[in-house]
Structures are given as C-alpha cells and as structure tokens.
Structure 1
Amino acid sequence: MKTLFDETCIGTLQLRNRLVRSATWEAMADDAGRPTPRLVRVYRDLAYGGTGLIISSATTFSGDATRVPGMLAIPDDSYIQAYHELVQTVHREGAPIVMQLVFPGRNGVFWTPSDPSRDEIHSIARGFRDAAFRAQRAGFDGVEIHAAHGYFLSQFLNDKRNTRTDEYGGIVRNRIRFLLEITSEIQARTGETFPILVKINCSDFEEDDGVWEACQSACSKLAEQGIRAIEVSGGISHMPFPPQGLPYEESVFRDYAAEIARITDVPVILVGLNRTPSVLTGLLNTAGIGYFSLSRPFLRQPDLARYWRKNPDRPAECLSCDACREQPDGNVCPFRKSLVGEK
C-alpha cells in the first residue's frame, strides 16, 4: 500500500514524501522582486517542517511585467545570486525547490490572448526559456509553468476567452500550441534532465469553456514532450473557490486529476482543498494520483508534513477562512504557531 510518506522521485527530484507546497503568493519580495530575508525564512520553515517539494510563488521574468505587491521576479542575471542563497537554505533542510514562472502581462495590464502579436508570443516563450535557465543556474531543482487560474497563459485554453483567429486560437490543437512551445523552448535551453512541471486548469467552470478538452490534449502532448509532472487545478482567481457544482468538500478536483493520471504516464499532483490524510491516502491508492499540493494549510502549519506523520488521523488545522490575505505584513496566517524546535 502506498503512503503519503513514501520516498519517491519525479525525474531528478528526490522527494521524502508526497506532500507539495503549491505556489503561494507571500507578498514578501522587495520592490524589485528579489527575495528578502523574511521570505527566505518562510521557505526555510517549509523545508525544516518536512515538506516533500516546495514550489515557489509565481515569479515574473521581464522588467516591464505586471506584478502585484511583493511578487517575485527574475528578469536578468543579477538576480541569480539572491535566489542561490534561498535555494541553498532550502537544500540544507532536505527539500527540493522548483521555481514557478508566470507571465501576467506588461506595464500594469493583465493581458488576454488577443493582446500579443505573433512576434510577442514568440518573445514571451523565449522569456520563459531564459528565466528557466536563470533558475537552473541559481540552483533550483526545476521550474513549473503556471497555466492555471485564468491568467494569461491559462486563457489560451479557454474557447471563449481565446478569441484569436491565427494558429494560437480556435481548435484545441491551436489553443494548446503556446504552452507546448514554451516547454520546448525551456527544454532546448536547460536540457532534457532539468525537470519541467506544468500547473494547468482542468476547467475554468464557465459554461462551454472548452478547457477540459484542451487540458486533456495538452497533458497528453506535454507527457510526450517529457514533462516531469502535472499539477491539476481549476477555477479562476477572482471567482469564488471552490467552484460551484463540484461533488466534494475536499480534494475537489480529484476526478479530473484521476483522468489525467489515466491518460498520461507522468506523475499527477492534485491541488485544491487537500485537508485530510485519510482522504489523500485513499486517492493515492485508488485514483492514480501520486502527489498532493497544499497552499493555505502550509501558511498555518509549515510543519504540516511532520505533523501528519505523527498524527495521521488529524486534518489540517487550516479553516480556509482567508484571514491570511487580510494581514498588513504579508500573506500570513494569524493563527500560525511557532515550529517545534524552530531555529
């Protein structure tokens, strides 16, 4: 029987358990997007707390990128050393770390698929490539492409939001083209052994959005390209979560993730209200889902992995109240307790 605390590998990533910290905006980068000592401490606590794999918060890669306050960035080589120090801190505590890369838009505007020209699309793909290479040089163990939650790249999958009439819009093959080109660019620059993960929406949960069909096709093609893992999410950031109509109170995208696991041969990571070890263990052994990522529970319990190892019958303490987003000093849980043995 598989357990949440099996030691496994995702490509070259060696994981001490199946619990993943999903990308979480911390609002703690400096004004230029570099990690601060306070932010490094957040990642150290996650690693020290036993997390199997850490995915960084969304990181932009162009100097004119649209960013929210405290958002990470890696627009040029001068940022590499700051990230190298963050990575070393995480590695000393025994966890691998992956940088999530995102393109929201430029000059304060959140882009839609209709905004860029073909040349700009190609330039963005090269931007992902160059940022991934910087992450590799900084010591990150891989990168994750953010193609979920209704942001720019995610919208290409949506048949209603993607109104392009060229080779990047219309039929499913065209709507997934940009994502596949990005991964190909990264592979060409970083090499075949450097892990690339993709976070993708199973659905935007809009009527007839076509996202599920595009998701299945994209995941199949990504697996053929050699992607190392697929993180299955859903919904749009500014809409209520979880989306209406799902039959579960926990692990809400489980059926979609199970289907992606069935049609591909790469590890699937499920995100979305993962709260109870027994539920996750059941999915691990019956649905083909290999890993489980969490966001808000790690804000309250950065040592959640250690806690669940000792208390397998206890759910996460997170109440999903979103008080973390209302704090004046960053995205932090007001109910967080200090780690036992915290350094």
Structure 2
Amino acid sequence: MKSLFDQTQVGPLKLKNRFIRSATYEGMAEEKGNINDELFKVYEDLAKGGVGTIITGITAVTDLEEFIPGQMRIYNDSFIDNHKKIIEVTHKYNANIILQLGAAGTQTIRNEEKVILGPSNITDLGYKNTPKEMTLEEIVSIQIDFANAALRAKKAGYDGIQIHAAHGYLLSKFLTPYYNRRTDEYGGNIENRSRMLIETYKKIRDKVGKNYPVLIKINCEDFMDQGMTFEECKYVCKKLEELGVDAVEISGGSLSSRLNESYSRKIVKGQAPYYTFYAERIKEEVNIPVISVGGIRDISALTKILNESSIDYFALSRPLVCESNLIKRWSEGNTEPSKCISCGKCSGFGKTICVFNRK
C-alpha cells in the first residue's frame, strides 16, 4: 500500500513525501520585488511545517510589463542573492523549493508606462485589460526572459522551476482560443497555440540542462466558452512529456472562468478534490509524475485516491495558508481534516493571509 509519506523521486529530485505546496501568490515582496522578512517567515514556516516540496508564488521573469503588487521578481541577476535566503531555510528543514516562473499578460494592474502583453488584442473578461498583440520579436523576447530566469533560479540554488501555463496568465492565454485569435504559427489549432509554451520550455531546457527539474502547471481545461478543452490539454501534456518535462500539475480555469456559469457548475465545493478526475485521465496518457491540486483537505480521502488511482502527488495552497504545519500534524497522527473552509478570503491583490490568522 502506498503512503503519502513515501520517499519518492521526480527526475533527479528526491522528495521526502508526496505533499507539495502549490504555488501561492503571497503579495508580500518589497516594492522592487525583493524578499523581505515577512515573506521569509512564510517559507520558513512552510518548511518547518513538514511539506516535502514548496513551489513559490509566481515570480516575474520580465520587466516589460507592470508587476503584480507584492510579487517576487527574478528578471535580472541582481535578484539571485536575495532568493538564496528562502532556499537556505527550506533546505535547513529537508524540504525542496521550486521557483514558479510566469508572465502576467493581461492579469496585472494598469500602468501607462508599460505595455500589457497578449496573444491577441482581446480584452480580458476578468481584469478588463486590453493587451497589444505581441509581435514575433516580443514572443521570442519573452521566451528568452523565461530561459534566463530559469538559469538564475538554478544559480541561486532552487531545486527546480515550474512554468506557469495555467489560470489565464500569459502562457495560458496563448492556449485559449478565445484570447488567441492569431493567424500566424502561434494561433489556430492546438499545435500552434501551444507553440509559445513548447518553445519557452525548449529554451529553458537548453539553458538549465537535461538534469535540472522543470515542471509545468497547466489547466485541464479553461471552463469557459471558446476555452482550451481537456482533449487539447492531454495533447499538450503528451507533447511536453516527449520533450522531457519532469512533471505536470493539473489545475483549471481562471478569473474569466469564474465569471462563466459552466465553471461554477463543474467545480463546486462538494466535488473536492476538484481536479482529481482530470489528473487521473492525464496520468493514463503520460508516464511522468502527475500532481493533483484543488480542494485537498482530508488525508483519508487522499490516501484512498493515491491507492486507487495512478496520481503521484498532491498539491495544497489554501490549507497551508490556513495551517502551515498541516503536513507535520498529519504525520504525527492528528489526521483531522484541514481547518481551511475554502472561503477564499485569504486571496486577492493584497497579502495572502488566512482570515483566522489575521492580526
């Protein structure tokens, strides 16, 4: 019988258990994107709390666009030393730490001095920002920014990186037909719409080498009209596996989806864990590790899923915002479900803090 506390391996990376802290926007970085004492403590508490692997909040790879307030950054070499302190404290407690890399695209605040980037000139349904359609030169420039940021992560000492291609951020927008209406090689069918992500991955792999862990976070589907479908997601995951991606985390939707009735019908609190069905189907298509995320609150349910499916790992976000020591508590025999009630009041463009923990 498999255990959630098995020691396993993803590519060259050894994991002390099957629990992963899913990337969570903290909103606590300094104005210029540096890690401060408040943010350092978040990572220290997570590492002390027993989770085997931590994926950081989305970290900016480019300064072409305006930053999300409180977002970490790594768009030039000056940030490398600043990142080392959260790496060191994570390793102190025998946990891994993976840097999530992303570009916001339309999901950011407005700044007339900086450009809002997108695959096409289509207004974001949630954020109401209208991007300029990216030129081929801008596409290549962003891909290079991702690759250089990944190399900085490796130099800083991160155990790997995760490419954020979910939730409506820039790479996700390229996958979504509603937002990607290009007529060149980056638009149209899923082979073309995934080209931005595929080329970004290839450039990253060329920079970091074949033995450095590279993960992808992707929507199982967009849950919106003219969104990426589940069949298209499976195509992309299989393609990424062929190219050497080490693991995929299966999530879904975006703010645009939450405005769409179909999303609320499909993903509801009573159906948690939300994306397990999709993760199971993806695992039937690929041989690399698959990570399920969303609505994970109960260790008994997770143990059942682990042993009745081929899902390898489970990622948690809000439960660890609520209880950073949740995994340690479970490992010590207190298997009560997470105290998180999925109210969603911890998140937004402010600091991500559980309402029960606010001072």
- Give me the TM-score of the superposition, normalised by structure 2: 0.89
One-letter amino acid matched to 2:271: E
- For residues 306-321 of structure 1, what are the structure 2 equivalents within 5 Å? 306-311=328-333, 313-321=335-343
8 A contact 1:175–1:214 mirrored in 2 = no
> Does residue 157 of the first structure (1) align with residue 179 of the second (2)?
no
Partner residue, 1:340: none
Partner residue, 2:320: 298
Partner residue, 2:287: 265
- For residues 123-162 of structure 1, what are the structure 2 equivalents within 5 Å? 123-162=141-180
Alpha-carbon distance in 2 for matches of 1:208, 1:86: 40
8 A contact 2:224–2:256 mirrored in 1 = no
Per-residue CA distance 1:13-37 (angstroms, 9 max, x = gap): 2111111101111111001111111
**Are residues 148 and 286 of structure 1, via their aligned partners in 2, closer, same or farther at CA, if it must alter by over 3 Å?**
same
Partner residue, 1:280: 302
Partner residue, 1:341: none
**Are residues 293 and 10 of structure 1, via their aligned partners in 2, closer, same or farther at CA, if it must alter by over 3 Å?**
same
Partner residue, 1:103: 103
8 A contact 1:269–1:289 mirrored in 2 = yes
Partner residue, 2:266: 245
- Give me the TM-score of the superposition, normalised by structure 1: 0.93
- For residues 108-119 of structure 1, what are the structure 2 equivalents within 5 Å? 110-114=116-120, 115-119=133-137
- For residues 44-83 of structure 1, what are the structure 2 equivalents within 5 Å? 44-83=44-83
8 A contact 1:34–1:82 mirrored in 2 = yes
Query: Aligned with 1:38: secondary structure?
Result: helix
- Count the aligned residue pairs: 337
Alpha-carbon distance in 2 for matches of 1:237, 1:283: 28
One-letter amino acid matched to 1:284: L
Moved over 4 A (4+): 106-110
8 A contact 1:110–1:152 mirrored in 2 = no
Alpha-carbon distance in 2 for matches of 1:76, 1:245: 41
**Are residues 184 and 254 of structure 1, via their aligned partners in 2, closer, same or farther at CA, if it must alter by over 3 Å?**
same
Query: Aligned with 1:54: secondary structure?
Result: strand
Partner residue, 2:198: 180
8 A contact 2:291–2:312 mirrored in 1 = yes
Alpha-carbon distance in 1 for matches of 2:84, 2:37: 13
**Are residues 246 and 296 of structure 1, via their aligned partners in 2, closer, same or farther at CA, if it must alter by over 3 Å?**
closer
Structure 2, unpaired ranges of 5+? 121-132
Query: Aligned with 1:50: secondary structure?
Result: coil
Alpha-carbon distance in 2 for matches of 1:191, 1:175: 25
One-letter amino acid matched to 1:90: T
Alpha-carbon distance in 1 for matches of 2:221, 2:116: 20
Cα deviation for residue 326 of structure 1 reads: 7.0
One-letter amino acid matched to 1:61: V
8 A contact 2:69–2:349 mirrored in 1 = no
**Are residues 326 and 221 of structure 1, via their aligned partners in 2, closer, same or farther at CA, if it must alter by over 3 Å?**
closer
Partner residue, 2:355: 334
Partner residue, 2:127: none
**Are residues 63 and 298 of structure 1, via their aligned partners in 2, closer, same or farther at CA, if it must alter by over 3 Å?**
same
Aligned-pair Cα RMSD in Å: 2.0
